[in-house]
Amino acid sequence: MKTRRNKPDNRRKADLPPRAAARRESPAGSLPWRLQRILAHSGLASRRKAEDLIRTGRVVVDGRVVTELGLKLVPSDHRIEVDGKRIASPESKAYYLFYKPKGVVSTLRDPQGRPTIFDYWSRTQIQERIFPVGRLDWDAEGLMLLTNDGELAQTLLHPKFQVPKTYRVKVRGIPTLDSLRRLQTGTWLPSGKKHQAEWKMVKTGLDRSWLLITIREGEKHQVKNMCAAIGHPLMAIKRITLGPLSLGRLAPGEIRPLTPKEIRALKSDLSG
C-alpha cells in the first residue's frame, strides 16, 4: 500500500489533510484473505513459496490439510499450521515503514499539542495497535519502523544486537580528516558513554558538509551530540536505513506495510 502524501506541517490534528488511503484488506480485520497471502504476510515464505507449501500438503487449517489454492479465510478465526507449527497470527504481527516528517514528535501523544506521528496513521484503516520502534528527534526526519511486535522491537533496540542505523546529515563547517577519524575511534557523549560511528563524506559546500553517519546504538541525540563533539554542529538529519530497511522512495508523511521479503530480512538479520 502506498499512501497519499501527507504534507509536513505544524497544524494541529483537526486541521491535518485527509489521511493515507484506506487499505482494502486487513489481516487483523474481518475481510477474508487467500491462504497463500496469509502465509506470505506472516513472513514465512514468498507468495510463490506459500503456494508450493499448500500444493504439497504442508498446510493444515483447523486440523484439515488444505491443498487447493485460493481458499479464503479470516486469519484470526482459524488455526493455520505449516509443517505442524502454527503460523504467527497476522493480527499479532504488523510492520509498517513510516517517513517521519520534520516538526513532528515521534511519540503517540504530545502534552504540548504538537503534531505526532500517530496523526499520520490514525485516520488510515490500519487496525493493529502499532507503535514506533525507537525515536527520532522532533527536528529529525526519516525512516521509522512501526509495529505491534514487541519482541522484535526490543531486539532491534537492544545494544547487544548493534543494529546499524544510517543518517544523512548536514553539519556546519567542513570537518578535517582528523575530526572525522574521531567519529570512528569514538567520541565521549554527555551520557558519559563513548560511541563510535562509521562515516562517509557525501559533499561539501562553502561552510557546510553532507555526510552519511552510521551508528549502532540508539542513544538520545546521539548523532547530534557526536557532531557537536567534533566541533561541527548538526544542521539537519534524516534516517535513511535501519538494519536491512531503507527509506527508498517514501515521501514525508507516507506509510506502507513492509513486504514479506523485508520482514524476512529483518528477522534473519536479528537471528544471525
Q: Which residues are catalytic?
A: 137
Nearest distance in Å: CB 140, ligand URA: 3
DSSP secondary structure letter of residue 89: P
CB of residue 272 to ligand URA, shortest distance in Å: 24
- In terms of CB distance, is 6 or 222 closer to ligand URA? 222
Q: Helix, strand or coil for residue 151?
A: helix
Separation of CA 153 from chain center = 10
Q: Give buried/exposed letters for 59-71 (b at 16+ CB in 10 A, else e).
A: bbbeeeebeeeeb
User: Which of 171, 147, 142, 167 lies closest to 157, judged by CA?
Assistant: 147
Complex with ligand URA: residue 137 or 269, whichever CB lies closer: 137
* Least distance between ligand URA and beta carbon 127 (Å): 28
Q: Given the rule CB under 6 A, which residues bind ligand URA?
A: 136-137, 140, 221-224, 237
Question: How far is Cα 188 from Cα 223, in angstroms, rounded to an integer?
Answer: 12
Q: How far is the CB of 136 from ligand URA (least distance, A)?
A: 4
Residues 6 or more apart whose CB falls under 8 angstroms from that of 155 comprise: 161, 270
